[in-house]
């Protein structure tokens, strides 16, 4: 299969490689899940990896397959997997457990180990490939209704963890009723943080560099959030007008803003830091003042990185809620699709210097247009037809009229051999056609038994679900 890999330590080495397709048997205990990758998002971390500032190859391999924001469709599962089935949409978590206590209790995002394992980032291959395999424990199901935006789940989890941690910390106050929030940065993470805070009912001010109007500011307006360009108003000044801020979420990647944020934070407030800043920037700060206000104001500041399964599940819930409250909003973040792994140069170019970029992502493969979760699990991969249920349905007329070219007809038959629900569907379809032909005046005869009508409706519903 094809994959995209870097040679860690060598800048701009991202290239297409050919590696064997993994098998679910690689995971012990029958817990393997083979995922066909559909989309993979890229972010600042991928930029750093490509610049050779970050990232290590798995031991023994001279390359690292990149990509940690994966979205795919289950292709096959091991015998001990009950949580997902072929056809399900899924996202895999990023970090894999090390040896600290936190790793052992399912919270590897809180590891105290110095070395950590992250798929597509550090010591473990990622998802920019045609397929990947992982244990079901690290695979999170995404409902089909979120198919179009599922690639945003991983960045969403970074936000979910940060905000959940803030609420957890604020239990120190016994009563905490946050009213006003500030988000520093209007990139993907900043936008998603604003979304989640709006869904929690907070008044949200987002600070960004660029003067409004522009896409990100417009998207914030749709959420009912306020956008402030720091080119016009400083963060501390703005906090007098729109604060005091009970919760602040920093996601700019620019560390000096942290010290302004500390000052803009309200009494008893919590400031969440999420930027991974690999550089060596230095600034002068009003240290006494910041310290004094922190002490006298009982303020708290917390760092957050990565996310464990719990936050992926919460992310799915909030994405579903977002689709209900702000329909179509999430998909507007998906500004820059790059079709095919082959286009990796274009992908990196867009990521580093594209204009009006919110999210760059690789369309690795199109989703099966219709879920084939009803293929019995025991149907071996090589017996899986290429024709999806939806295509079969599109071809059904020609099939019955004997108009399908030979190879398509063969694919059609191959599909029918493994797909009981399409067999049902075809039968119902034939019956319906016959029925229609039998009544000259195009009307359903009055004597059609109600049970047949119900059976037809049920069969259609079953296939389409
Ligand atoms: C990823 C996190 C990861 C962090 C540090 C981020 O881009 O979203 O999962 O922990 O980089 O490697
Ligand atoms: Zn089918």
Domain boundaries of the chain, sorted by first residue = 2-149+334-363, 158-303, 381-464
Look up the pTM and report it: 0.81
Over range 363-374, report the average pLDDT: 64
- The residue whose two tokens read 């989640």 is 196
Q: Tell me which fold the domain 158-303 belongs to.
A: Rossmann fold (3.40.50)
Ligand 1 atom closest to the Cα of residue 154 is 8
Cα(415) to ligand 2 centroid in Å equals 6
Task: Answer yes or no: is the C-beta of 306 below 6 A from any ligand 1 atom.
Answer: yes
If pLDDT is split at 50, 70 and 90, which confidence band does 445 have? low
For residue 24, what are its two tokens? 């679910």
Is residue 373 over pLDDT 50?
no
Closest ligand by atom to 421 CA: 2
pLDDT for the residue 371: 45
Per-residue pLDDT reduced to its tens digit, 394-427:
788 888 888 888 888 988 888 888 877 678 778 8
pLDDT for the residue 370: 46
Cα(423) to ligand 2 centroid in Å equals 8
| Residue nearest (by alpha carbon) to ligand 1 atom 9 | 306
Q: Tell me which fold the domain 2-149+334-363 belongs to.
A: Quinone Oxidoreductase; Chain A, domain 1 (3.90.180)
Cα(30) to ligand 1 centroid in Å equals 28
Q: How far apart are alpha carbons 450 and 46 in whole angstroms?
A: 59
Is residue 437 over pLDDT 80?
no
Task: Answer yes or no: is the C-beta of 45 below 6 A from any ligand 1 atom.
Answer: yes
Closest ligand by atom to 395 CA: 2
Q: What is the dihedral of CA 239, 241, 245, 250, to 10 degrees?
A: -40
Per-residue pLDDT reduced to its tens digit, 47-105:
999 999 989 999 999 999 999 999 999 999 999 999 999 989 999 999 999 999 999 99
Per-residue pLDDT reduced to its tens digit, 21-57:
999 999 999 999 999 999 999 999 999 999 999 899 9
| Residue nearest (by alpha carbon) to ligand 1 atom 4 | 306
Closest ligand by atom to 188 CA: 1
- Write the burial class of residue 401 (CB in 10 Å: 0-12 exposed, 13-18 middle, 19+ buried): exposed
Per-residue pLDDT reduced to its tens digit, 118-151:
999 999 999 999 999 999 999 999 999 999 999 9
Is residue 375 over pLDDT 50?
yes
Ligand 1 atom closest to the Cα of residue 122 is 12
| Residue nearest (by alpha carbon) to ligand 1 atom 12 | 121
Task: Answer yes or no: is the C-beta of 233 below 6 A from any ligand 1 atom.
Answer: no
Cα(421) to ligand 2 centroid in Å equals 6
Is residue 156 over pLDDT 90?
yes
pLDDT for the residue 385: 73
pLDDT for the residue 372: 47
Task: Answer yes or no: is the C-beta of 305 below 6 A from any ligand 1 atom.
Answer: yes
| Residue nearest (by alpha carbon) to ligand 1 atom 7 | 45
Is residue 309 over pLDDT 60?
yes
Task: Answer yes or no: is the C-beta of 43 below 6 A from any ligand 1 atom.
Answer: yes
pLDDT for the residue 458: 76
């Amino acid at each position: 299969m094809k994959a995209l890999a870097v040679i860690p330590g060598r800048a701009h080495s991202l290239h297409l490689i050919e590696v064997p397709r993994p098998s679910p048997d690689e995971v012990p205990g029958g817990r393997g899940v083979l995922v066909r990758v559909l989309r993979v998002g890229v972010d600042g971390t991928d930029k750093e990896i490509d610049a050779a500032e970050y990232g290590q190859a798995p031991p023994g391999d001279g390359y690292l397959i990149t990509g940690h924001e994966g979205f795919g469709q289950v292709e096959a599962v091991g015998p001990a997997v009950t949580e997902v089935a072929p056809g399900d949409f899924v996202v895999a978590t990023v970090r894999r457990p090390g040896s600290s206590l936190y790793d052992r209790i399912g919270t590897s995002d809180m590891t105290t180990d110095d070395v950590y394992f992250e798929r597509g980032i550090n010591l473990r291959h990622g998802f920019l490939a045609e397929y990947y395999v992982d244990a079901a424990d690290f695979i999170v199901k995404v409902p089909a209704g979120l198919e179009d935006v599922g690639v945003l789940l991983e960045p969403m989890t970074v936000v979910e963890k940060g905000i959940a941690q803030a609420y957890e910390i604020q239990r120190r106050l016994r009563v905490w009723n946050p009213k006003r929030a500030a988000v520093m940065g209007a990139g993907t993470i900043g936008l998603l943080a604003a979304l989640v805070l709006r869904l929690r009912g907070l008044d949200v001010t987002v600070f960004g560099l660029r003067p409004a109007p522009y896409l990100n500011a417009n998207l914030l307006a749709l959420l009912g959030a306020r956008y402030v360009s720091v080119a016009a108003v400083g963060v501390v000044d703005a906090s007098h007008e729109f604060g005091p801020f009970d919760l602040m979420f920093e996601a700019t990647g620019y560390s000096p803003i942290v010290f302004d944020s500390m000052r803009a934070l309200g009494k008893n407030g919590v400031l969440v830091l999420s930027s991974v800043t690999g550089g060596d920037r230095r600034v002068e700060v009003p240290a006494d003042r910041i310290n004094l206000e922190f002490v006298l104001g009982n303020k708290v500041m917390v760092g957050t990185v990565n996310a464990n399964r719990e936050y992926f599940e919460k992310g799915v819930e909030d994405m579903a809620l977002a689709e209900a409250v702000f329909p179509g909003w999430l998909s507007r973040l998906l500004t820059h699709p790059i079709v095919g792994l082959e286009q990796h140069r274009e992908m990196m170019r867009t990521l580093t210097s594209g204009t009006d970029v919110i999210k760059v992502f690789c369309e690795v493969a199109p989703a099966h247009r219709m879920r084939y979760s009803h293929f019995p699990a025991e149907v071996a991969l090589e017996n899986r037809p290429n024709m999806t249920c939806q295509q079969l349905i599109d071809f059904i007329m020609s099939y019955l009229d004997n108009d399908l070219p030979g190879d398509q007809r063969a694919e059609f038959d191959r599909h029918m051999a493994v797909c009981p629900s399409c067999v049902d569907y075809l039968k119902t379809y034939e019956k319906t056609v016959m029925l229609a032909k039998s009544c000259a005046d195009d009307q359903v005869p009055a004597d059609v038994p109600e049970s047949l009508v119900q059976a037809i409706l049920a069969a259609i519903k079953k296939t389409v679900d």
